[in-house]
Amino acid sequence: MALIMLILMNLAVMASLYIFIFILGAFFGIHLDPKTTSGLFMMAAVFGFGGAFISLLMSKWMAKRSMGVEIIDTPQNEAEEWLLSTIAKLSAKAGLKMPEVGIFDGPPNAFATGWNRNDALVAVSTGLLEIMDPKEIEGVLAHEMSHIKNGDMITMTLMQGVLNTFVIFISRIIADIISPKNEEGESNPFAYMAISFVLEMVFSLFSTALLMWFSRYREFKADEGAVKLSGPEGIYYALAKLGQIPKEELALPEGMKAFGIVGFLETLFASHPPIQQRLKHIEEIAQIR
């Protein structure tokens, strides 16, 4: 699925780029040198995908460090033993290799990360373990295991890489067109870089909005996966309980916060759909009330 999505996204991006270049030539008389354009595209792809994949490869290490995750190697109490056995059960049911399991201090939350499905980490907060019953916790764990099974980590990285490439490529082309030229027709390097930087920031807002839209879509899919792995009640009542907690009490530490913009931008840049929408979706697929 991730490979198919990458191919489709690349085709869409390439088509958009060719249309963009055609419009420049047909309507504005601006003809770009194919060699320069190809070289620029290759550079943009290296930087765009390179940054995304480096982040993916470092994701487990960064999560452990920034969140203070303590990996459970040998259970020290019944709660940790239950946590390991529950994730082992869900892993077997999902056909996945047992991920690393960890606990971090913080408000009710959980996450999954890792560069592939067989080298993942699932971590839950002490706050979540304190306020939820075993069935609800299992529902949350099933949701995180579904992220791993669906390959969301690699898929999001591929999408980020394509969007990064698009942003860098288009920004540099536009910057070259509008930046001041000398007598030889060469762009002023300082103006070119400044304009490129500003354009990349602007286009990054649009690419981030698109990426977050896809993130919200994958959350619905992970909820569906949780229903299949552990039944609808656990994830449903876990979400309902989280919905009763003020947002500020659910905030992750600074390094792991999602976008916190209020009003319209809060919805546009949110990585997760509103809890009420997720509850309604579960009701529709599982006939639960």
> Distance between CA 159 and CA 187 in Å, rounded?
31
Could you read off the pLDDT of 159-214 as tens digits, one per residue? 888 898 999 999 999 998 888 887 777 777 788 889 989 999 999 989 988 988 99
pLDDT at 8: 56
CA torsion through residues 234, 240, 245, 249, sign: positive
pLDDT at 183: 74
103 pLDDT band (50/70/90 cuts)? very high
Based on the residue annotation, tell me whether 144 is a catalytic residue of this protein. Answer: yes
pLDDT at 3: 43
pLDDT at 17: 64
Which among 157, 191, 144, 152 is positioned nearest to 172, based on CA atoms?
191
> Distance between CA 260 and CA 192 in Å, rounded?
32
Could you read off the pLDDT of 230-267 as tens digits, one per residue? 999 999 999 999 888 766 555 554 434 432 223 344 56
From the candidates 100, 136, 138, 144, which is the catalytic residue?
Answer: 144
Is residue 99 within 8 A of residue 122, CB to CB? The reply is yes
- Cβ neighbours of residue 36 closer than 8 Å, sequence gap 6 or more: none
> Distance between CA 152 and CA 120 in Å, rounded?
11
What's the mean pLDDT when you consider all of the chain? 83
pTM: 0.81
14 pLDDT band (50/70/90 cuts)? low
Is residue 188 within 8 A of residue 180, CB to CB? The reply is yes
